[in-house]
Copies of this chain bind each other. A is one copy, B any other.
Amino acid sequence: MAAAVAKATENGSAAAEIGRPTNPMVTPMLTDLYQFTMAYAYWKAGKHLDRAVFDLYFRKNPFGGEYTVFAGLEECIHFIANFKLKDEDITFLKSVMPTIHEEGFFDYLKEIDCSDVEVYAIPEGSVVFPKVPLMRVEGPVAVVQLLETPFINLVNYASLVTTNAARHRFVAGKSKILLEFGLRRAQGPDGGISASKYTYIGGFDATSNVAAGKLFGIPLRGTHSHAFVSSYMSIDEILDKALKSHDGSRVCEDFVSLVQTWLSRIQLAGSLHGVFGETNQSELAAFTSYALAFPHNFLALVDTYDVMRSGLPNFCAVALALNSLGYKPSGIRLDSGDLAYQSNEARKFFRAIEKEFGIAGFGEMAITASNDLNEETIDALNKQGHEVDAYGIGTYLVTCYAQAALGCVFKLVEINNQPRIKLSEDIAKVSIPCKKRCFRLYGKEGYPLVDIISGESEPPPKAGERILCRHPFNESKRAYVVPQRVEELLKCYWPGNSCKPREELPSIKKIRTRCMQQLEQMRPDHMRRLNPTPYKVSVSGKLYNFIHFLWLNEAPVGELQ
C-alpha cells in the first residue's frame, strides 16, 4: 500500500494529502468477482483501456420521502487514492480464476491504480434526487468497473442513514438534542461506526460510540445502564461517602446521609402529592454512587424498577443533595413505558420540587427518552404532548429499519465517446445515456425549482434565461423555467492525472453544516412527512431527443402473435 500512496503522490495533483478509508477492510478486493472476470474479458479483447463513463445514481427516494442526502464521497475518494492490489491479492485472484493462464493479465492488474480515472461528484451532504448522477466516474473501462461495487457500497448505506437522520431531526424539531445510541444493534462493527459518522452529518448532536468519537471527533454522550442500577444491593455498599462541594470550599463527609435526608424531605412534602412507600434501595445506592463519581454531570436512568414510585424520587433526592453542594445535576433518562406520560409527570414533579424547596431551574431538568424510538414514535409523542428534551435513538435509526437499503446503481453511459443506454421493460430502470452535466435551478424565493441534466457539450443554463426542462421519459411533462440562480452540481473531486483542479474534501463538521443548510433551503412541501411533493428532475430538450433516438435504435421491434 505504501507504494500506492507514494505513486499517487508523484502524480502531483491527485492523492498528495488524501487519507485512507476509515475501515482498513476497504481495499480493491472488496468487490464482486465479476468485476475481475469482466476486467479479464476486456483485457483479453484489448478493450480494457476503452474510455468509459459511468453514472452512480439511485432511482427512488427512501422512506416514502421526496429527498435524499448524498454521503459517502470522502470514503470513495480515500479508496481510489489508495487503490492498489497487493501481491497476495493477485495470488488469490489467480487461484479463483484458474482458467486464466495469461500472466500478462495479472501483470496488468498488479500495475493498475486510479491515476487515469476522473471522479465528478455532487458535494457530500447535498440534498439529491433520483436519476441525477451523484457521481460521474470516467476512466479505462476495466478499472472503473472494479470501482463499481466498493463505490456503491460506500455510498448506499452512507446516504441512506444520513437521510434517515435528517428525517428524524425534521420530526424531532430543531430545539431537541438527538443522540445516536445504535452501535449494539448496527449491522456489524462498521455499520455502527458509519452510522455514528453519517447520523452526525444528518443532524444528530452526539453518539454513544467511543470509536466514532475518536475517529471523527463526534461529541460523545452516555451515562449508565440498568445493569449498573441492579449491580447495587444496598446503600451500605458505598464506603467512600465524602464529596467536595462544587466550589471546593467544603467537604460533605457523608453524602449518603445527605441524600437520605433529602429523600425523607421529598417523601414528607405534601405539595409533591407523592405516594412513596420505600423507594428501591439498590437504585438509590446506584444513583448516589454515580453522583459521587460524576457530580458535575449527574444523569440517571430512572426506570429500572418504577419511574414514579422509585426512580424519580430517588433521582431527586440525589439531585437535591448535589444541588446543596453547588452542583447542577443534568437530568434523567426514561427507557420504557409511556414516554409522553412519564415525561409530563416527571416535569410536573421537577416543577413541584422547584417550588417546594425553592430551587430555581430545577423544573427545567433535562429529560432524555430512549427505547425503540423512530420517526413515527416521535411524531406520536409530539401529537400527544410531552416534555422530552433529548432523544436517544438506536435500532431504527442505524439499521434504517423502515427501509434497510438504498438502491444505488452504477451504469455505463458512454464508451469511447459513444453514448450507451440500458433498456428495461420497466421504464424506471432505463438509464439516461451520455456524459452529462447537471444543474440545480433556483427560483425567486431562493428555493431550488428543478434539477436539469444536459449533454456535456451543451451550453449550460444561465440565470435570467428561459430554458425548457423536460421529463426524461414522459413526453407531455415539460416546463419553461427562468432560473434566478444556476448551480452546477458535479464537481471534480478526483482529477487523476489530468490537470484539472481538485475540490477539497471538507471536514465532517463542514459536511454537516452543508447538509443542514441544504435541508433548510428546500421548499417545505418537498420535506413534509405525509404526501410530500416530488421535486422535479428534468433533462434538456436536446438530451430528451437523444435518449429517445437511442432507445428506438437499441430496442428490438416486437411482433404480436
Instruction: List residues of chain A with CB under 8 Å of any chain B CB.
Output: 21-27, 29-38, 40-42, 44-47, 50, 52, 54, 89, 92-93, 96, 99, 141, 145, 148-150, 152-154, 156-158, 161, 181, 183-194, 208-211, 213-214, 220-228, 230-233, 237-240, 275, 277-280, 282, 289-290, 292-297, 304-306, 309-310, 336-337, 395, 399-401, 403-405, 407-408, 410-412, 415, 418, 420-426, 429, 554-559, 561
Contacts of A278 in B (CB 8 A): 556
Contacts of A44 in B (CB 8 A): 240, 289, 292-293
Contact B277 A26 (CB under 8 A): no
Contact of A304 among B154, B294, B422 (CB under 8 A): B422
**Cα A184 to Cα B149 with chains together (Å):** 5
Q: How far is the CB of A155 from chain B (nearest CB, A)?
A: 9
**Sample of 11 A–B contacts (CB below 8 Å):** A22-B25, A24-B25, A38-B225, A41-B290, A41-B292, A150-B189, A152-B184, A185-B407, A231-B415, A305-B423, A336-B425
Q: How far is the CB of A75 from chain B (nearest CB, A)?
A: 9
Contact A156 B184 (CB under 8 A): yes
Contact A336 B46 (CB under 8 A): no
Contact B395 A228 (CB under 8 A): no
Contact A32 B415 (CB under 8 A): no
**Cα A411 to Cα B231 with chains together (Å):** 10
Contact A153 B183 (CB under 8 A): yes
**Nearest opposing residue in chain B for A72, CB measure:** B188
Contact A157 B230 (CB under 8 A): no
With contacts A226-B422, A238-B45 known, is A395 near B405, CB below 8 A?
Answer: yes
Contact B422 A153 (CB under 8 A): no
Contact A23 B184 (CB under 8 A): no
Pick the 7 closest A-B CB pairs, nearest first.
Answer: A34-B222, A33-B222, A399-B404, A41-B293, A187-B187, A227-B412, A152-B184
Contact A187 B141 (CB under 8 A): no
Query: Quick one: which of A52, A233, A296, A424 has the most chain B CB within 10 A?
Result: A424
Further contacts, 18 of them, CB under 8 A, given A54-B227, A96-B220: A22-B25, A23-B23, A24-B25, A25-B190, A26-B189, A30-B189, A33-B210, A34-B225, A41-B293, A145-B225, A145-B228, A153-B186, A161-B187, A185-B407, A187-B400, A226-B411, A280-B554, A305-B556
Contacts of A224 in B (CB 8 A): 34, 37-38, 41
Contact of A239 among B29, B46, B290 (CB under 8 A): B46
Contacts of A184 in B (CB 8 A): 32, 148-149, 152-153, 156, 408
With contacts A222-B37, A230-B412 known, is A25 near B23, CB below 8 A?
Answer: yes
**Cα A410 to Cα B93 with chains together (Å):** 41
Q: How far is the CB of A337 from chain B (nearest CB, A)?
A: 6
Contacts of A222 in B (CB 8 A): 32-35, 37
Contact B45 A189 (CB under 8 A): no
Q: How far is the CB of A101 from chain B (nearest CB, A)?
A: 11
Contacts of A410 in B (CB 8 A): 227
